[in-house]
Structure 1
Amino acid sequence: MSDTSIGTPEQLRDPNYTPPLMKAIPLGIQHVLAMFVSNVTPAIIVAGAAGFGFGSNSPDFPELLYLIQMSMLFAGVATLLQTLTLGPIGAGLPIVQGTSFAFLPIMIPLVAGKGVDGLAALFGGVIVGGIFHAIIGTFVGKLRFALPPLVTGLVVTMIGLALVKVGIQYAAGGVPAIGTPEYGSLLNWSAAIVVILVTLGLKFFTRGMLSISAVLIGLIVGYIYALAIGMLTFEAIAGSWQNSAAFALPQPFKYGIEFSIAAILGFCLMAFISAIETVGDVSGITKGGAGREATEKEIAGATYADGVGSAVAGIFGGLPNTSFSQNVGLIAMTGVMSRHVVTCGAIFLIICGLVPKVGGVIRTVPIEVLGGGVIVMFGMVVAAGISMLSDVHWNRRNMVIFAIALSVGLGLQLEPGAVQHLSDTAKVLMTSGLLPAAVIAIVLNLILPEDLSAESTEEVSGGWSGHGEGSFERSPPRK
């Protein structure tokens, strides 16, 4: 519901309208709160996969801190590209950019156990993938035919399935604790469960900002709980604060640059998927906030900003950016379409990114507490994919495409040893799970004919219904 005290209904639907500053700043910060946890979590996961130590006394602590800092800084920069525009770059709409979860299945194998040495290839892939993403903006509208809900729903579901393991590992004590007596202890799980319960309670029994910021508030409550039970100490928080600088500028090519075929192919394919997701977000913003369809110029500009923002982030050690769907829902809820409101939020993100002490405080969140939030977030990714799949016409053709793509993609992810004889590049691509599933689904959807025989295209309702062990009866087709 829109707030008429901010402006008239016509003004609220206008992206160029600027509400009074005292209203615009809180609304902008509200956008940041809605995306903050999701934005910094990929950096923490990549750091954990690389093997960085999480303690303030760890030699890798500055690197972890830097990744968090760049996530905030370049989310703000990319958001400014969307709201203020730079020539054809940017949609001129209230689009909030942030670090994308979609690229994690590609990034984790690239850096796994390699420490700082794995980051050069990672950021080489981010830069090239970002440039490719920007190029997609010139023809993005013509690509939608290749990505119906069958393909996009499968891809989003696979992203979530590839990441749910991370949430469980974090809740149990983190990857470094695997095999130790404390891994999976009741104490560890209790912190994650507190976060999950608080998040669910706020999400379903409150409204407005409390509901929108449910994950963030759940993490704060979990943080307090960790302090209360001794999982976290005030000395550790003080040490992290003291070991973090008050101000720091980003450093270009801090980790060097390396162009790996596996990284480039992986990031380019995911850029293709991310571009289509951005098209959906732009359409959602214009429909929800202004009651109209997005223009071709807005769609192209948003895709350009996605790519340019990611490429620039990669130069300075930031991860790929994309439009954040949760903020699309926030615009529909508030009814405030002003891009300048989101500009205020972007400036706030940039300020946070230039102050490493903010990242230092974030890093003191115990991994078990973060695990509770991650379980919710990655579970929601899977749920979003299943929701997209609900729009699929489930005939035999589409079921076969889905079955093969899911089986191969998920199977290779669960059993990476099955491709041990492939080259290192091919192994990274195949064991991500996401890439083989996406390629199989896209190719089969394009080459398998739609006009199959009546028997093979018969729509299935519930597949086969069982009547006792080993006995099956054909379910009638759905009308």
Structure 2
Amino acid sequence: MPPLAKAIPLGIQHVLAMFVSNVTPAIIIAGAAGFGFGSNSPDFPELLYLIQMSMLFAGIATLLQTISLGPVGARLPIVQGTSFAFLPIMIPLVAGKGVDALAALFGGVLIGGLFHACLGLFIGKIRFALPPLVTGLVVTMIGLALVKVGIQYAAGGVPAIGTPEYGSLLNWSAAVVVILVTLGLKFFTRGMLSVSAVLLGLIAGYIYALMVGMLTFDAIAGSWSRAASFALPQPFKYGFEFSLAAIIGFCLMAFVSAVETVGDVSGITKGGAKREATDAEIEGATFADGIGSAVAGIFGGLPNTSFSQNVGLIAMTGVMSRHVVTCGAIFLIICGLIPKVGGVIRTVPIEVLGGGVIVMFGMVVAAGVSILSDVDWNRRNMVIFAISLSVGLGLQLEPGALQHVADTPRILLTSGLLPAAVISIALNLLLPEELTAESTEEVSGGMAGHK
């Protein structure tokens, strides 16, 4: 363990690397549900609570990974945070339904988390069903499902669609400032500035919004004054409801999240210790993923998963100390117990957040493409990818095609993500290792290459 004088700033560096990504899903879910975004809105306290829980349970889940509790936890420097992967499932569940939709949402988070934890018992045995072709496609689909949100936020936010101000030059200018500052810091600086590029880009956009009148100091003061100085989480604050669509969606996405965690654990041990991850570490990390999500669901937190950007940070700094990440986890927990922190976050204009979201969700797509680069693009894999992407993305772009389907399957299918995942997994298991040239020519119209 490094001295505290070194461990604390290194731990906070880990938090800065994931902070924006961690709280963004809560803001997106609130926006999709139709929560009021102004500090005078009656739903304002609910939005603060979701942000607060995102920080608190990211810290608690990270502690499970670093300190461990029996078999739960890998005892490695794994940073946990709110997962983007579940957003395409959660958004249709809450769309326009307000606070009333949260009971079913968090019921799904709880059951899905318990199912995720159970995957730790046999995660090694199911990895064969999730090769890079499947995981790369799923990660790419997650990003593609969310880029629309980034554009909507940059143009003025989902609630502003249809208003004259939506898509104005002023709105876009704030998003562009965030993107330009983020790119400049990421590629032309080193160390802490580069690691915190997205966060600092948002701060630059925040200052710009103040300068051009998109945000006022009175609004900031009002948000600060309405938020409490200290608050504890409340179990089942939004009730508890079994929704078949939510449970199926969260359980299926648990497979994807579990495989992502396996990759992150392997990346940490290879990058920091130059060795392969042990079975006990992989199983413990998966247990912590699931238990952390289940406990978060009880108190109104969203599903947690390991954060890949922090894996890169370990490789960059060479500091593979779980005690450093423990310091970061404690910092997150403290922030999660102080709603005023969430109050300040919520004053970030939606257009400014849109600039950061465009970068983050674009990186999700890029990560998926990077995984797909490891695929052997033979005829068989091209057909699997083509059919899975066409059906998944097509249903996501045209949900009206399933207007006569019952509510539960419609919500699952129009996410785009689940049909793409299920089709790719099934075809990968069922199709022979190599298709004939003739069958591929028939599907691709003669465009497929030959090896």
Shorter chain as denominator, the TM-score bin is over 0.9
Of 359, 371, 384, the match for 1:401 = 384
Q: Is the 8 A contact 1:395 1:457 kept in 2?
A: no
SS at match of 2:330: helix
* 1:245 equivalenced with 2:228 (yes/no): yes
The aligned runs of 1:156-171 (5 Å cut-off) are 156-171=139-154
1:477: how far off?
Answer: 3.6
Residue 417 of structure 2: aligned partner: 434
Matched, 1:303 2:281: no
Structure 1 runs (4+) deviating above 3 angstroms are: 451-458, 473-478
Q: CA RMSD in A?
A: 1.4
What amino acid is aligned across from residue 262 of structure 1 in structure 2?
A: A
- Residue aligned with 2:310, SS: helix
Q: Is the 8 A contact 1:397 1:456 kept in 2?
A: no
- The DSSP-based 3-state class of the residue aligned with 2:223 is helix
Larger Rg, first or second structure (1 or 2): 1
Matched, 1:49 2:29: no
- 142, 159, 163: which one aligns with 2:125: 142
Query: After superposition, what is the alpha-carbon deviation per residue over 1:344-389, rounded to whole angstroms, capped at 9, x for unaligned?
Result: 0000000000000000000000000000000000001001101111
- Partner amino acid for 1:437? A
Structure 1 counterpart of 2:134: 151
- Rounded Cα–Cα distance in structure 2 between residues aligned with 1:135 and 1:61: 36
Distance 1:397 1:294 in 2: 31
Aligned pair 1:292/2:267, yes or no?
A: no
- 1:102 Cα shift? 0.2
For residues 113-133 of structure 1, give each alpha carbon's deviation from its aligned partner in whole angstroms, at most 9, with x where no partner exists.
Answer: 000010000000000000000
Q: Given the alignment of the two structures, is residue 196 of structure 1 paired with residue 179 of structure 2, yes or no?
A: yes
Q: What is the 5 A alignment of 1:231-270?
A: 231-270=214-253
Corresponding residue number in structure 1 for 2:407:
424
Which residue of the partner structure matches residue 72 of structure 2? 89
Q: Any idea what SS the aligned residue of 1:86 has?
A: coil
Q: d(CA) in 1 for partners of 2:293 and 2:128?
A: 25
Equivalent residue number for residue 108 of structure 1:
91
Q: Does 1:127 align with 2:110?
A: yes
Where is the helix percentage greater, Structure 1 or Structure 2?
A: 2
- Kindly provide the CA deviation profile for residues 390-435 of structure 1, in whole angstroms up to 9, marking residues without a partner as x: 1111111111111111111111111111111111101100100000
Compared CA separation, residues 131 and 475, structure 1 to 2 (3 A): closer
CA distance in 1, matches of 2:406, 2:88: 18
1:26 equivalent in structure 2: 9
Q: Which runs of 5+ in 2 are unaligned?
A: none
Q: Aligned runs of 1:2-21 on 2, under 5 Å?
A: 18-21=1-4
SS in 1 for 2:135: helix
Report Cα offsets for 1:183-216 as digits up to 9, x if no partner: 0000000000000000111111111111111100
> What fraction of aligned residue pairs are identical, expressed as a percent?
86
Which residue of 2 is the match for residue 367 of structure 1?
350
How big is each residue's C-alpha offset from its partner over 1:21-54, in whole Å with a ceiling of 9 and x where there is no partner?
1000000000000000000000000000000011
Mapped to 2, the partners of 1:182 and 1:452 lie a distance apart of 53
Return the offset for 1:475.
7.8
> For the Cα contact (< 8 Å) 1:68–1:359, is it kept in 2?
yes
Cα separation, partners in 2 of 1:168 and 1:40, compared to 1, 3 Å:
same
For 1:29 and 1:452, locate their aligned partners in 2 and report how far apart those are by CA, in whole Å.
51
**1:335 is matched with which residue: 303, 318, 333?**
318
Instruction: Report the counterpart of residue 197 of structure 2 in structure 1.
Output: 214
Q: Deviations over 1:132-161 (max 9, x none)?
A: 000000000111100111100000000000
Q: Secondary structure at the match of 1:143?
A: helix
Equivalent-residue separation in structure 2 for 1:238 and 1:421 (angstroms):
49
Which whole-Å CA distance do the structure 1 matches of 2:208 and 2:447 have between them?
Answer: 53
- Unaligned runs of 5+ residues in structure 1 are 1-17, 465-472
Structure 2 counterpart SS, 1:98: strand
Where does residue 23 of structure 2 map in the other structure? 40
Count of equivalent residues:
450
In structure 2, the partner of 1:467 is: none
* Alignment partner of 2:44 out of 48, 56, 61: 61
CA distance in 2, matches of 1:448, 1:91: 36
Normalization by structure 1: what TM-score?
0.92
Mapped pair 1:274 → 2:274: no
1:456 positional shift: 5.5
Question: 1:72 — aligned with what?
Answer: 55
* Structure 1 Cα separation of the partners of residues 68 and 82 of structure 2: 19
Q: Following TM superposition, by how much is the alpha carbon of 1:454 offset from its aligned partner in structure 2, in angstroms?
A: 5.8
The aligned residue for residue 162 of structure 2 is 179
CA distance in 1, matches of 2:447, 2:55: 54
- 1:452 offset after TM fit, Å? 3.6
Question: 1:477 and 1:68, CA in 2 relative to 1: closer, same or farther beyond 3 A?
Answer: same
Q: What letter corresponds to residue 69 of structure 1 in structure 2? A: Q
